[in-house]
Amino acid sequence: MTEQPIGSVAAYYSKIGVAAIELIGTLSVGDRIRIRGATTDFEMDITSMQIDHAAVETAGAGQGIGMKVPDRVRPNDQVFLI
Predicted confidence (pLDDT) per residue in 1-22, tens digit: 689 999 999 999 999 999 999 9
Which CATH number does the domain housing residue 33 bear?
2.40.30.10
Task: Encode pLDDT of 18-66 as tens digits.
Answer: 999 999 999 999 999 999 999 999 999 999 999 999 999 999 999 999 9
What is the domain range of residue 10? 4-81
Q: How far apart are CA 41 and CA 79, in angstroms?
A: 10
Q: Can you name the residues that pair with 66 across neighbouring β-strands?
A: 20, 50
For residues 53 and 67, is the Cβ–Cβ distance under 8 A?
no
For residues 22 and 16, is the Cβ–Cβ distance under 8 A?
no
What total of structural domains would you count in the chain?
A: 1
Q: What share of the chain is helix, strand, coil (3-state, %, to 5)?
A: 0, 55, 45
